[in-house]
Chain A
């Protein structure tokens, strides 16, 4: 059950000018909530219901079901309420979880997540990072750990950080559009009753004849059920992915403009950046560039996936869910934890596709080797050409 905020938390000098409600709604929107004008009207209606001199704790309770529309909103509501109406009560230790102000958030989100738990490169234990391929690989392990996973592979054919041009984004968008055609409205083997169907559903039609005593027939048409997958892009922005994260974020931006996708970035924590990517202005590219700067060590792939898919309900995993992980597979979680999480995703019917910048899957970390069976497709994505080839093969 939800936790009730104690009314005594608030000061007696509670003052609620109605004009500030509009500002409050804007503040909520800036923090990722979808507050509408109608919600503002409802806030006022609630105030009318309560009357003057209302206890702010009570108002917080009653506004909450109006303002919130998801678990994320529900969790951050109390803090947002306090931050806006009682800023003087906010101690230094209080901070808003989840996304913060949209307009300047992208870099902050990453930096906040990075600085929260990392002490520096190599600070985290590298439990799942040991490569499984061979002894030779084992001997390179130390180097890999310090340098990061993907950065030990051959240099890229193209340097994404310095050579990104508007034409590249166009290429990515073209690629995304072609993938969209492959993914959207894919007919499945199942049938569904549809008035626009071209096949007769014999069972239902026969039932209608029986129901009408043989005097008439109501033809029931059917068509193949179409499935629109829900794509969840999860991008590793840890140090080992420094050279690639910018590229993948651009890809995410291209996809978010033509497909219903949810985009998350992670290293030891995760953050959703979907709302940022769908905005179309020249500054967004600069922000995306900024995100890729200043990565630190330590990556928790399994924990992040678990939190995104199960703990925080950031996405609903079902058989329509396509989870695209963009990572080199270097993980500081326990090696078998990734297998466990991917197994749960598969258990719910979700598909996991893994995009890797490494040379081969066989050379990837131990946790990847353990979890391989739960990944439906492996796509090489070290550069744009590889990615285009991989996406063309996507089904």
Chain B
């Protein structure tokens, strides 16, 4: 049985690799549990560690449609769950009036006049879906409370229609960058996984996967450099996405390894250092030190 689990986890890793995502056993285990236990998976971690990318890779892995809900301040159920198509309802009423028919209010508030937004679409997807609720911490607490029903029972209550329950439970992945604390109620309903920055060897693998045209020596040096840069006291530490961008920039320069004089690369560091303070804090001396 344990061997079977190992092979399952290994196959998740392999499938995700094929989808362009490198994950370790722990993360594979979390994904496996999310699918088996039908619980949402809450991913936390710094920006750029691959939270959103994981959701797209999972959807590719399970061959389900990918539905994304980008959260923002002021997001409400009209944007996230459903909205009535008032224009069409009005047209229907006008047509009924023109033909001297009685307007059936039940027909007006039927599914034909319902505009499905991401969460409802995910619940009603016949083949099942992967629902990414991205940056949940950006939404208001009221919306977070509204989500609880959807995430615990995979159902939505629409007053005019009743309760809509999912036919196939979607795989739900929530991401948070920690801009505000999420409620305990939401956390309790989710499995939790914290994504950390990868170590040098893993980042090397990721960079090889994402920028195959780059020279291997350059990839190793870049991974080493970014790893050391993250240990500096930076406002915004570079994520994996930044590493990939930087490596692409270096490849565009035609480099096969990092130059002796790192100062010549200062221009390309805009791919890694995203705030003015970080750019000024990483001096030429710091660069020399990091380049070893």
Same complex = yes
The interface bits of chain B over 102-113 (1 if a CB of A lies within 8 angstroms of the residue's CB, else 0) are 000000000000
Q: Does B64 contact A (CB under 8 A)?
A: no
Q: Does A34 contact B (CB under 8 A)?
A: yes
| A52 and B1 in contact, given A2-B193, A36-B188, A212-B86 (Cβ under 8 angstroms) | yes
The reply to whether B193 and A50 form a contact with Cβ atoms under 8 Å apart is no
The interface bits of chain B over 14-34 (1 if a CB of A lies within 8 angstroms of the residue's CB, else 0) are 000000000111110110111
Which one of A2, A71, A216 contacts B26 once the chains associate, using CB atoms below 8 Å? A2
Q: Does B44 contact A (CB under 8 A)?
A: yes
The reply to whether B33 and A55 form a contact with Cβ atoms under 8 Å apart is no
The interface bits of chain A over 1-45 (1 if a CB of B lies within 8 angstroms of the residue's CB, else 0) are 111100000000000000000000000000000101010001001
The reply to whether B235 and A2 form a contact with Cβ atoms under 8 Å apart is no
Write the residues of chain B forming the contact surface with A, with a CB cutoff of 8 angstroms: 1-2, 4-6, 23-27, 29-30, 32-34, 36-37, 39, 41-42, 44, 49, 74, 76, 86-87, 90, 94, 137, 178-181, 184, 187-188, 190-199, 202, 233, 235
The reply to whether B87 and A212 form a contact with Cβ atoms under 8 Å apart is yes
What's the Cα separation between A68 and B76 when bound, in Å? 28
> Which residue of chain B has its CB nearest to the CB of A68?
B192
Write the residues of chain A forming the contact surface with B, with a CB cutoff of 8 angstroms: 1-4, 34, 36, 38, 42, 45-46, 49-55, 58, 61-62, 64-66, 68-71, 73-74, 192-193, 208, 211-213, 215-216, 218, 230, 313, 315-316, 318, 320, 340, 344, 347
Which one of A38, A54, A212 contacts B90 once the chains associate, using CB atoms below 8 Å? A212
What's the Cα separation between A333 and B194 when bound, in Å? 30
The reply to whether B179 and A51 form a contact with Cβ atoms under 8 Å apart is no
The reply to whether A58 and B187 form a contact with Cβ atoms under 8 Å apart is no
The reply to whether B1 and A54 form a contact with Cβ atoms under 8 Å apart is yes
The reply to whether A4 and B235 form a contact with Cβ atoms under 8 Å apart is no
Residues of the B chain whose Cβ atoms lie less than 8 Å from the Cβ of A53? 1-2
A126 to chain B, nearest CB (A): 22
> Which residue of chain B has its CB nearest to the CB of A62?
B29
The reply to whether A1 and B198 form a contact with Cβ atoms under 8 Å apart is yes
The reply to whether B188 and A208 form a contact with Cβ atoms under 8 Å apart is no
> Which residue of chain B has its CB nearest to the CB of A218?
B86
Residues of the A chain whose Cβ atoms lie less than 8 Å from the Cβ of B181? 230, 315-316
Residues of the B chain whose Cβ atoms lie less than 8 Å from the Cβ of A71? 44, 194
B269 to chain A, nearest CB (A): 20
Which one of A68, A193, A316 contacts B178 once the chains associate, using CB atoms below 8 Å? A316
What's the Cα separation between A71 and B202 when bound, in Å? 21
Which one of B33, B86, B193 contacts A216 once the chains associate, using CB atoms below 8 Å? B86
The reply to whether A61 and B29 form a contact with Cβ atoms under 8 Å apart is yes
> Which residue of chain B has its CB nearest to the CB of A343?
B277
The reply to whether A344 and B180 form a contact with Cβ atoms under 8 Å apart is no
The reply to whether B191 and A49 form a contact with Cβ atoms under 8 Å apart is no
Residues of the B chain whose Cβ atoms lie less than 8 Å from the Cβ of A1? 23-24, 26-27, 49, 195-199, 202
| A64 and B188 in contact, given A212-B90, A213-B90 (Cβ under 8 angstroms) | no
The reply to whether A318 and B180 form a contact with Cβ atoms under 8 Å apart is yes
Residues of the A chain whose Cβ atoms lie less than 8 Å from the Cβ of B196? 1-3
The reply to whether B1 and A50 form a contact with Cβ atoms under 8 Å apart is yes
Residues of the B chain whose Cβ atoms lie less than 8 Å from the Cβ of A318? 179-180
What's the Cα separation between A64 and B33 when bound, in Å? 11
> Which residue of chain B has its CB nearest to the CB of A315?
B181
Q: List 25 A-B contacts (CB under 8 A).
A: A1-B49, A1-B196, A1-B202, A2-B193, A3-B196, A4-B24, A34-B188, A45-B37, A49-B36, A54-B5, A62-B29, A62-B32, A68-B194, A69-B42, A69-B184, A74-B192, A192-B74, A193-B74, A211-B86, A211-B87, A212-B90, A230-B180, A316-B179, A318-B179, A344-B235
The reply to whether A65 and B30 form a contact with Cβ atoms under 8 Å apart is yes
| A316 and B180 in contact, given A1-B24, A65-B33 (Cβ under 8 angstroms) | yes
